[in-house]
Amino acid sequence: MNDIPLTHILFVSTALFFIGMYGLFTRRNMITMLMSIELMLNSVNINFVAFNKYLYPNQLNGIFFTIFIITIAAAEAVVAIAIIINLYRSHHSIDVEDAGEMKW
């Protein structure tokens, strides 16, 4: 696997991060915005693992950060979906434009 330079893996993760960002900018449905955030978190995971593998193979720090990020992403998704379902109950829509009561 060392015949692939590190920059190519970083190209993939950077592209994935900005794809997620494009989704976050253009989508107005809360569930799809959550999906974009998951994509961005995953691109960060690729980064951590690749750095760990290529630059510091005698340590495991990148792997631990990946595990913690996966855990936090799961917790975040669960809370976000609870909020989305609660919002659907009160507004009958999960479009962010429809929930503007707390806008200043």
Partner 1 sequence: MKAEAFTIDHLLFTIDHPPFTKNNHLTASQIIFYIISAFILGTGLLAVTTRKIFRSAIWLLFSLIGIAALFFWMELEFIAAVQITVYVGGIVVLIIFSIFLTQKSGNQMAKPVRSRAIFAGIAVLIGFILSYLLISQYDFQPAGNQPLDASVGNIGTQLMSTGEHGYALPFEAVSILLLAAMIGCIVIAMKADKKQETRNKAQDNTRENVQDTRDKNEENERIINA
Tell me which residues touch partner 1 (CB under 8 A): 1-8, 10-12, 14-16, 18-23, 25-29, 31-32, 34-36, 38-39, 42, 45-46, 49-50, 52-61, 63-64, 66-68, 70-79, 81-86, 88, 94
CA 13 – CA 86 distance, rounded (Å): 33
Contact at 8 Å (CB) between 5 and 42?
no
Question: Residue 101 Cβ, how far from partner 1 at the closest point, in Å?
Answer: 17
CA 4 – CA 9 distance, rounded (Å): 8
Question: How long a stretch of residues is the chain?
Answer: 104
Question: Residue 31 Cβ, how far from partner 1 at the closest point, in Å?
Answer: 6
Question: Residue 40 Cβ, how far from partner 1 at the closest point, in Å?
Answer: 10
